[in-house]
Amino acid sequence: MAVKYHGAGVQLKAVMVKDLTKSFGTFQAVKGVTFSVEEGEVFGLIGPNGAGKTTTMRMLSTLLQVTSGTATIFGKDLVTETDEIRKIISYLPEEAGAYKNLTGRRYLEFIARFFGNGEDVEKMVDYGISLSNLADRIDDKVETYSKGMTRRLLVSRALMFKPRLAILDELTSGLDVISAQHVRRTVRDTTKDGTTIIVSSHNMLEVELICDRLALIADGRVVEMGSPAELKDKYDADNIEEVFVKAVSP
């Protein structure tokens, strides 16, 4: 795993999150999350529904305002440098959709134009099409796509411009086994280009397959963090699911 150094030997993490909280009125969804992600790493956030994974990801994606705590993405402050952060990140929500009256190609072009012009757009779109594996169907309207095809289009949208950080919420949500495997492979391959990935999932098998490290989140807090092997070792567990149960059990 590549670790970059910035300035006089100061290590530059891809993501640094410290005591991050998020409240909605009196309800506190995230209660002081702290973690860091190395560049080129696939970092997993796992936990049950309502644990605070999506809220954390939405804060890192600049969608939600931070209540307290700090976070930097490639050295840029999440609160004060949101415009800069949006240029280098990509966020894929769990329930994302695409504009139904556009073709897959036009949708990719629409997104690519936010990140470049002319030839750059063409290159991004070509790369996106290859990632999506949609072949001729790329010129069909999105409304004719199956759920799996739409998700593949959205994953390729999120990765086609080679963001420095991709935040992928429930990466393979609703996908069949074949499509899920294709998407996981695509994501894993993207890290070879230096893209850092934060991914959330309910699927513990998936987490083990693609994550270099992961954080277990429960009730708005990180309860455990480490590589899948380290965690299984620590909890004397056969798989991450077992780790999770043991980690959150009182």
CB of 99 to other proteins, least distance (A): 6
How large is the angle between the packed helices 147-159 and 104-112, nearest 10 degrees?
Answer: 20
Is 225 among the residues that bind other proteins (CB under 8 A)? Answer: no
With CB under 8 A as the rule, give the number of residues binding other proteins. Answer: 35
Among 40, 47, 93, 228, binds other proteins (CB under 8 A): 93
Question: How many CA atoms does the CB half-sphere of 195 hold within 13 Å?
Answer: 24
Closest CB to other proteins among residues 16, 29: 29
Among 5, 10, 27, 192, binds other proteins (CB under 8 A): 27
Is 40 among the residues that bind other proteins (CB under 8 A)? Answer: no
Among 36, 90, 191, 201, binds other proteins (CB under 8 A): 90
Is 186 among the residues that bind other proteins (CB under 8 A)? Answer: no
Closest CB to other proteins among residues 86, 246: 86
Among 1, 3, 24, 77, binds other proteins (CB under 8 A): 24
Is 183 among the residues that bind other proteins (CB under 8 A)? Answer: no
Binding site residues, other proteins, CB under 8 A: 24-27, 29, 49-50, 52, 54-55, 58, 61-65, 83, 86-87, 89-93, 95-100, 111, 114-115, 154, 157
